[in-house]
Amino acid sequence: MGHQEWPEELDALRAAAAFHTLLMENEEVRVLETVIPVGVTVPVHTHRWPGVYYIFSWSHFVRRDAEGNVLLDTRGGAETAPGSAVWTEPLGPHSVENVGVKEIRIIAVEVKGSARASLDGTRVFGRLAER
């Protein structure tokens, strides 16, 4: 299912509003703050645009699809350092469970006009930005 078919009611600001705060939006970008406390699972939602995620606070997490299948489990890997930025493709219906020991806090700048907006989210988390 491509993002054009993702139901509006699954948008992060509707389906998981308790965890996503709209900071700014115009025709080009949408800026969201995401906060996920330790031990909490964010309900199934989507992010229909690709974007840059700036990490304020990181913790290991498990991302599952709408059926509960694990898409990504960061345990066992290196933690992403606060102050890092990563590129993320559009994310189809998924939940996120904070399985680490710290709050996850991210600012996402979603790029609405990107030619990449038609991708399906198979590249879940991009490389860390080089400093």
* pLDDT tens profile 97-114: 999 999 999 999 999 986
- Indicate the class that CATH gives domain 3-118: mainly beta
Model pLDDT, residue 78 = 86
Q: Is the pLDDT of residue 121 over 70?
A: no
Model pLDDT, residue 124 = 47
Q: Which residue has the higher pLDDT, 27 or 79?
A: 27
Model pLDDT, residue 130 = 40
Q: Per the structure block, which two tokens stand in for 40?
A: 């909490």
Model pLDDT, residue 127 = 43
Quick check: helix, strand or coil at residue 100? coil
Compute and round to an integer the Cα radius of gyration of the chain: 14
Model pLDDT, residue 102 = 96
Count Cβ neighbours within 10 Å for each residue of 71-102 and write b for 16 or more, e otherwise.
beebeeeeebeeeebbbbbbbbbbbbbbebee
Q: Report the predicted TM-score, pTM, of the whole model to 2 decimal places.
A: 0.83
Q: How far is CA 49 from the centre of its chain?
A: 10
- What are 40-96's pLDDT values in tens digits? 999 999 999 999 999 999 999 999 999 999 999 999 888 889 999 999 999 999 999
**How far is 117 from 97, CA to CA, in rounded Å?**
25
What residue ranges in 9-78 does DSSP mark as E strands? Answer: 20-25, 29-36, 41-47, 51-57, 61-65, 70-73
**How far is 48 from 2, CA to CA, in rounded Å?**
9
